[in-house]
Every structure is written in structure tokens, then in C-alpha cells.
Amino acid sequence: MAGITFKGQPTRTAGSLPAIGSKAPDFELTGTDLAQYTLGQWSGQRKLLNIFPSVDTPVCAASARRFNEEASRYADTVMLNVSADLPFAQNRYCASEGLADVRNLSTFRAPEFGVNYGVRIEEGPLRGLCARAIVVIDEHDTVVHTQLVAEIGDEPDYEAALKALG
């Protein structure tokens, strides 16, 4: 369990982020095409998981735009936005913003993702959604960087995440 805040009010998450050096937990999340995607589908590539509550908030949208801008600069890397938003909302958002270099994955069929990655918010008005976090996974599916953003309304440390990609 990790302590974070939402608008300054303490809240907590289920579990903890995966440990640096550990094997990343597998997942099965839903893409905007309604197909199921697993971690193994990007085997041999680096993965940046941009995890957040909803694309319908300004900070979440800003992080999706930022990582979309950066995506083309990193060969053999996939940037994945992960939220509980329905795939239809994720698709609508990306289409309206012209975001074509990031992939969106929904936890709506896989609530265990939030527990396995230590990001499911356990209390307060955002209960059941994902906290804002970054998990960088190398081409061997080893976790090389994590950040659980202490205040849900703050943006992640983009530079640290991008540096972890190499």
C-alpha cells in the first residue's frame, strides 16, 4: 500500500509498484480496437507504461500528449497509456488530439492490473481508478524505472522516465 494524495487529501493504493530489477507483471488489457493485449506482445521492445486515472482530465491528457511527442525518438520502444477509460473514450481522445504514436490500453476488463502494478486507488472519489504512475520496462521485461506520482493532480517526471529508456 502506497500513500498518495488527491487534491491534498490522503488516499492509498493497493500494493506497491513493481520493484526495480523485478520481472514486470504480465497483463491482459483491452486496446481501442477491443482486442486483448499482453505484455508479451511487445517482447524484445522497451515499454513505457503511462498509467493514469482518465484521459478526460487535463493532466492525464497532457502526459498522453507529451509521450506521444517523444515516442518517435525512441526506437524499439512502445509507449502505452493505461487507464480505466473505455476504449471508445481513449480512441475518441486520441483521434481528436491527433495522437498516433502512443497505444491506449484499458483496464476495464482487468481490474487486477491495478493491484498487480500497485496503482489501484483504494479510497476516496477516484476509488477503483489507477493512480498516476510511470513504469519503464526493458526489452527483457525487467522493470528499470518507476514513479508513483505523490499528488494525483501533478504530472510525472518526464525526464526521468525518458532517461530510463536510454
CATH number at residue 77: 3.40.30.10
Whether 9 is covered by a domain: the verdict is: no
Whether 98 is covered by a domain: the verdict is: yes
Positions marked active-site: 60
Whether 5 is covered by a domain: the verdict is: no
| CB distance 90 to 32 below 8 Å | yes
How buried is 94 (Cβ within 10 angstroms: 0-12 exposed, 13-18 middle, 19+ buried)?
A: buried
Whether 8 is covered by a domain: the verdict is: no
pLDDT band, very low/low/confident/very high, at 18 (cuts 50, 70, 90) = very high
Residues 6 or more apart whose Cβ sits within 8 Å of residue 163: none
pLDDT band, very low/low/confident/very high, at 64 (cuts 50, 70, 90) = confident
Whether 56 is covered by a domain: the verdict is: yes
Residue 61 has pLDDT above 80, yes or no: no
Give the model's pLDDT for residue 68.
74
Strands (E), 59-164: 77-83, 103-106, 133-137, 143-148
Query: Nearest-CA neighbor of 93 among 63, 123, 137?
Result: 63
Whether 7 is covered by a domain: the verdict is: no
Domain around 22: 15-164
Per the structure, how many domains does the chain have? 1
Angle 47-53-58 from CA coordinates, rounded to 5°: 100
pTM of the model: 0.93
Whether 118 is covered by a domain: the verdict is: yes
Give the model's pLDDT for residue 36.
98
The Cα 166–Cα 90 span in angstroms is: 28
Backbone torsion region of residue 63, taken as left when φ is above 0, otherwise alpha when ψ lies between -120 and 50, otherwise beta: alpha
Whether 108 is covered by a domain: the verdict is: yes
Residue 69 has pLDDT above 90, yes or no: no
Query: No. of H helices and E strands in the chain?
Result: 4, 9
